[in-house]
Structure 1
């Protein structure tokens, strides 16, 4: 009887020690998971996010100068400057649209530059990593030299589908530490 009691108590002690080790492993795993999600949140918080009407001060990662961008308006349309989406996009369907982003770019650096030569903006859905570059033929103002303290207004034009996303993202300085986003709610969703 004493042997059975000792074996039973020994088994219970081993089981208790085993549970303690498993619990600490679970706690360690939970801590790791928590740390990872915190890291992901911090990484997404590092990206500067703006809304329509807000002005972002952005530093060119490649050329190390500052510029301002304000998204003045965003629309999805079937025609830009008299060009219909069916004429511009081969195989366009009913859901295809031009995504038109009206922007104001201001040179706040000490040097003049041509905006199209110095930076671009990618247009993407929320879950898309890169996105597409604008069709510069619609924003010819971006091909002209911009003097210090001057600004230029124009339209960035992309193609998309009206049903592609509830919110689109305009990205400046993509994949750099200065990556800056503008959230563009889908006006047709």
Structure 2
């Protein structure tokens, strides 16, 4: 009887040692797979960081992250100015300094989806320095065209207006779908530099 227990114990011990060896081999394979997955994740992150940056005059096709429809945006012009549509910088900033200005981005938005929508209700664009996260949203009162329904195939032109200073940055970014996978940038060189 003792021989049977010793024999069973020996078999179990060998089986346990054999399983540990297989686990070690599998772990090695899994580590190789994880390394490949991590490299793939890193490649994906780098691609995300290297998003296309559009210039003035170029048209971007953008997918709404929240509503899942496509629209086109073209930046037609960019300027820094003290007055927009009869409003001065002093009307918006009390104690405005000499370098305080409006940043005016002239845009065209085209509805390339199959449903009508009101642009100002569906998306907005953030404005920041070239190397900054975040940004400011525009003053909607300067873009009343964006408050009207835009039918499929139609487009609307207007301007987005922000406040900044002439010496704030060498270039600015206009960011659509901010903080989403479809975030899209337009680079706007500072006309004062």
Q: Give the TM-score of the pair, scaled to structure 1.
A: 0.78
Q: Residues 49-128 of structure 1: matches in 2 within 5 Å?
A: 49-128=53-132
Q: Which residue pairs with 1:42 in the alignment?
A: 47
Look at both structures and tell me which one has the larger radius of gyration over its CA atoms.
Answer: 2
Q: Map 1:107-186; keep pairs closer than 5 Å.
A: 107-186=111-190
CA distance in 1 between partners of 2:134 and 2:141 (Å): 21
Q: CA deviation at 1:162?
A: 0.5
Task: Output the CA distance in 1 between the equivalents of 2:154 and 2:58.
Answer: 18
Give the C-alpha shift of residue 86 in structure 1: 1.2
CA RMSD of aligned residues (A): 1.7
In the alignment of these two chains, the number of paired residues is: 154
Distance (whole Å) between structure 2 residues aligned to residue 39 and residue 117 of structure 1: 31
Would the aligned equivalents of 1:99 and 1:157 in 2 still touch at CA under 8 Å?
yes
How far apart are the structure 2 equivalents of 1:41 and 1:64?
24
Show structure 1 runs of 4+ deviating over 2 A.
37-43
Q: Is the 8 A contact 1:173 1:179 kept in 2?
A: yes
2-structure distance, mates of 1:38, 1:58: 23
Structure 1 pair 166/114, CA: closer, same or farther in 2 (3 Å)? same
Uncovered stretches (5+) of structure 1, i.e. residues with no partner: 1-34
CA distance in 2, matches of 1:124, 1:141: 23
Contact 1:48–1:179 under 8 Å retained in 2: no
- In the alignment, structure 2 segments of 5+ residues that lack a partner are 1-38
